[in-house]
């Protein structure tokens, strides 16, 4: 019994060294035996966040457990579209799924929980405009506000044109508009012609504000 407790104490230390969360495969690579993981799970020392992903129950509550779980399960993905808009406070919608982008040539991730919707981006559009933020001590990749707006116009049939226009309006109201960046990403996403009337209206609104 003492040996089991010692193994669990060592395993808990390994978990803490890695932010309190580990995937099963990584835990095994770090020397935590499968039996110890089962003991920790059954005794409530760790909790299951998603398939193959566990966290110490003694850690402070997560502010966004679904987002953290997806970031750990699919580290090469990028938060996109409605989920990225919500992250940047550019929508009034409440996302009911985590929307992520993956490279067109990558394998489709399989996640049973939380609900995830995967979008395959072309290589040139996938690798640009990525920001890295810390959420609950975990690095999360998310597209910048400017890239996300361009993506929403490209995928307007999926997210709705109204959502893309609303995001552009909120963007203008909440921050200093980076029109050049939006245009750059609009070209990458091949929606420059679609976005140009809305960007011209944005420029006119910004100009009026500067005159006040």
Q: Answer yes or no: do 85 and 33 share one domain.
A: no
Q: Answer yes or no: do 79 and 149 share one domain.
A: yes
Q: Answer yes or no: do 25 and 87 share one domain.
A: no
pLDDT tens-digit profile, the chain (212 residues): 445 568 888 999 998 888 888 888 889 999 998 889 989 999 999 988 877 888 898 888 888 888 988 998 898 999 999 999 999 999 998 888 999 999 998 888 888 778 999 999 999 999 999 999 999 888 999 999 999 999 999 999 999 999 999 999 899 888 777 888 999 999 999 999 999 988 888 777 665 665 55
Number of domains in the chain: 2
* Helices 2-17 and 34-42, axial angle in degrees (round to 10): 90
Question: Taking the CA atoms of the chain, what radius of gyration do you get in angstroms?
Answer: 21
* pTM for the whole structure: 0.78
Q: Answer yes or no: do 79 and 159 share one domain.
A: yes
Q: Answer yes or no: do 10 and 49 share one domain.
A: yes
147: domain range? Answer: 65-211
Q: Work out whether the CA dihedral 152, 155, 156, 160 comes out positive or negative.
A: negative
Q: Answer yes or no: do 106 and 185 share one domain.
A: yes
Of the candidates 17, 39, 56, which is a domain's last residue?
56
Q: Answer yes or no: do 130 and 196 share one domain.
A: yes
- Position 103 scores a pLDDT of 94
Q: Answer yes or no: do 91 and 116 share one domain.
A: yes
Q: Answer yes or no: do 18 and 95 share one domain.
A: no
């Amino acid at each position: 019994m003492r040996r089991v407790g010692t193994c669990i104490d060592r395993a808990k230390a390994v978990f803490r060294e890695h932010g309190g969360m580990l995937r099963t495969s990584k835990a095994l690579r770090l020397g935590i035996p499968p039996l110890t993981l089962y003991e920790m799970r059954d005794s409530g020392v760790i909790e299951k966040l998603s398939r193959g992903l566990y966290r110490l129950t003694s850690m402070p509550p997560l502010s966004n457990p679904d987002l953290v779980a997806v970031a750990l399960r699919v580290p090469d993905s990028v938060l996109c579209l409605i989920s990225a808009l919500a992250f940047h406070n550019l929508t009034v919608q409440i996302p009911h799924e985590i929307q992520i982008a993956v490279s067109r040539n990558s394998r489709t991730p399989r996640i049973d929980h939380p609900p995830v919707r995967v979008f395959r981006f072309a290589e040139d559009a996938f690798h640009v405009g990525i920001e890295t933020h810390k959420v609950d001590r975990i690095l999360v990749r998310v597209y910048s506000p400017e890239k996300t707006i361009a993506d929403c116009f490209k995928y307007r049939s999926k997210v709705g044109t109204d959502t893309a226009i609303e995001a552009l309006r909120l963007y203008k109201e909440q921050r200093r508009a980076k029109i050049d960046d939006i245009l750059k990403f609009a070209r990458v996403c091949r929606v420059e012609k679609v976005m140009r009337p809305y960007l011209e209206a944005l420029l006119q609104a910004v100009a009026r504000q500067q005159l006040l």
